[in-house]
């Protein structure tokens, strides 16, 4: 088990015990409090308080005079709040693919099992600018327990903050001016890892292909990709390494055409979002490029559809999505119950080394 950090010993001990139960390290009956106290390096009263949290969250069943029994099933350990509004609204900004993915559906299913009504509202920057006043009039008439802002720009986050609405920022970082908790993938680590994968295989002509709204939301992550490459290839410029398209298939194909019309062609591409990865692979293959013999591909993301591609795709994915979904639901419940502040949660996906990535030709 992980020894909890000092600032919040009770919460840290509870979280360590939850992870031990979820992983199967603890099952059946919870060890006695003195054993847990020694293992976690905390006091017995801290363990007792942590076990109460586990009982509240549905991980254990505590009865006086009997051993504490582990009752966690892995299905839905979250406990709904006893009172309050029962509506959760996901507000997405130009990210339909994510919101329609299995991740969104699973989180929505978990919330519905907890007796919440779940709704989805989709915006782009343009439609938000045109319609946010009408949206404001609409939300003033409904009571929402938590607004989940997905890829929300700073101006949207501030709009919700100014109205003191309960929010969780998901798939993005909460703006410095707002006090919302946020939950996102550690894309900075992903981009560094991806760049190193190419470099370690001898690739010297690599590019990041990314949609413009995503690029605008992740400048530090993109900088991480550029910095990693420039450590090995100092002559490479940021404008050459990062290729930004407007999100349309036509513009993405224009950029690919320009890249591969050069005398010295790319040997590696990191593509953001599965739909653009599929487009890139099909564009290359229909023009006679072999993957990975002529060009290696890595997708920054992963979903069920990517597993049907051949050659198999190197990509990043959440191996244990069930655990991530539980974390998202707990973060939402914390907002509902007003038990959270400006907390930043990073999730690190795992790398699947598919056949699309190979050593560069000498």
110 compared with 323, residue with greater pLDDT: 110
* 15-26 residues labelled b (16+ CB within 10 A) or e (exposed): bbbbebbbeeeb
Per-residue pLDDT, averaged over 252-281, amounts to 96
Angle at alpha carbon of residue 308, lines to 307 and 314, rounded to 5°: 40
Q: Residue 28 in 3-state DSSP? A: coil
The domain made up of 187-318 has a fold known as Rossmann fold (3.40.50)
The most confident of the ranges 126-140, 168-182, 243-257 is: 243-257
Could you give the CA distance from residue 259 to residue 289 in angstroms, rounded to a whole number?
13
Top-tier CATH class for 9-70:
mainly alpha
| Domain extents in the chain | 9-70, 87-180, 187-318
**Residue-wise pLDDT tens digits, 27-72:** 778 888 888 887 777 788 888 888 888 877 777 877 666 788 887 6
Cα 172 from chain centroid (whole Å): 8
What confidence score (pLDDT) does residue 102 get? Answer: 62
What confidence score (pLDDT) does residue 110 get? Answer: 87
* 234-252 residues labelled b (16+ CB within 10 A) or e (exposed): eebeeeebbbbbebeeeeb
| Share of residues in the chain with pLDDT > 90 (%) | 35
What confidence score (pLDDT) does residue 268 get? Answer: 97
Q: Encoding tokens for residue 38?
A: 């020694």
Per-residue pLDDT, averaged over 166-195, amounts to 85
| Share of residues in the chain with pLDDT > 70 (%) | 82
What confidence score (pLDDT) does residue 174 get? Answer: 66
**Residue-wise pLDDT tens digits, 268-291:** 999 999 999 999 999 999 999 999
Other beta carbons within 10 angstroms of residue 64's beta carbon come to 4
292 compared with 92, residue with greater pLDDT: 292
Torsions phi, psi for 177 (to 5 deg): -85, -10
Cα–Cα distances in Å, from 255 out to 90, 92, 97, 242? Answer: 33, 27, 22, 11
What confidence score (pLDDT) does residue 3 get? Answer: 41
Q: Encoding tokens for residue 312?
A: 């198999």
Q: How many residues does the chain have?
A: 362
The domain made up of 87-180 has a fold known as Rossmann fold (3.40.50)
What confidence score (pLDDT) does residue 2 get? Answer: 45
Q: Residue 221 in 3-state DSSP? A: helix
Cα–Cα distances in Å, from 176 out to 106, 158, 220, 331? Answer: 30, 10, 15, 19
Position 197 pLDDT exceeds 60: yes
Could you give the CA distance from residue 154 to residue 168 in angstroms, rounded to a whole number?
13
Closest by CA position to 74, among listed 110, 111, 49: 110
117 compared with 123, residue with greater pLDDT: 117
Question: What letter would DSSP give residue 173?
Answer: P
Per-residue pLDDT, averaged over 328-335, amounts to 86
Could you give the CA distance from residue 300 to residue 353 in angstroms, rounded to a whole number?
12
Domains 87-180 and 187-318 share a fold: yes
Could you give the CA distance from residue 39 to residue 26 in angstroms, rounded to a whole number?
12
**Residue-wise pLDDT tens digits, 307-323:** 999 999 999 987 656 67
What confidence score (pLDDT) does residue 15 get? Answer: 84
3-state helix, strand, coil in the chain (%, to 5): 45, 15, 40
Position 168 pLDDT exceeds 70: yes
């Amino acid at each position: 088990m992980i020894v909890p950090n000092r600032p919040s010993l009770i919460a840290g001990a509870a979280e360590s015990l939850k992870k031990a139960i979820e992983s199967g390290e603890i099952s059946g009956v919870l060890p006695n409090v003195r054993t847990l106290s020694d293992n976690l390096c905390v006091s017995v009263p801290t363990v007792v308080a942590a076990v109460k949290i586990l009982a509240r969250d549905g991980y254990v069943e505590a009865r006086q005079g009997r051993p504490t029994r582990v009752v966690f099933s892995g299905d839905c350990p979250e406990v709904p709040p006893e009172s309050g509004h029962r509506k959760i609204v996901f507000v997405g900004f130009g990210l339909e693919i994510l919101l329609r993915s299995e991740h969104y559906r699973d989180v929505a299913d978990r919330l519905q099992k907890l007796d919440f009504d779940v709704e989805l509202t989709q915006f782009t920057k343009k439609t938000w600018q045109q319609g946010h006043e009408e949206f404001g009039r609409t939300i003033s008439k409904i009571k929402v327990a938590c607004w989940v802002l997905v890829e929300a720009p700073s101006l949207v986050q501030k709009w919700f903050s100014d109205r003191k609405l309960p929010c969780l920022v998901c798939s993005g970082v909460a703006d410095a001016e707002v006090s919302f908790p946020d939950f996102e993938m550690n894309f900075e680590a992903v981009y560094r890892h991806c760049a190193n994968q190419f470099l370690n295989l001898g690739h010297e002509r690599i590019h990041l292909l990314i949609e413009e709204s995503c690029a605008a939301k992740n400048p530090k992550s993109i900088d991480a990709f550029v910095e990693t490459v420039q450590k090995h290839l100092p002559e490479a410029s940021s404008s050459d390494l990062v290729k930004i398209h407007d999100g349309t298939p036509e513009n993405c194909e224009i950029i690919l055409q320009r890249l591969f019309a050069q005398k010295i062609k790319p040997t590696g591409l990191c593509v953001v979002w599965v739909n653009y990865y599929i487009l890139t692979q099909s564009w290359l293959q229909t023009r006679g490029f072999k993957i990975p013999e002529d060009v290696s591909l890595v997708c920054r993301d992963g979903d069920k559809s990517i597993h049907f591609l051949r050659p198999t795709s190197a990509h990043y994915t959440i191996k244990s999505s069930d655990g991530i979904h539980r974390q998202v639901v707990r973060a939402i419940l914390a907002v509902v119950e007003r038990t959270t502040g400006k907390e930043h949660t990073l999730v690190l996906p795992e790398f699947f080394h598919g056949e699309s990535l190979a050593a560069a030709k000498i």
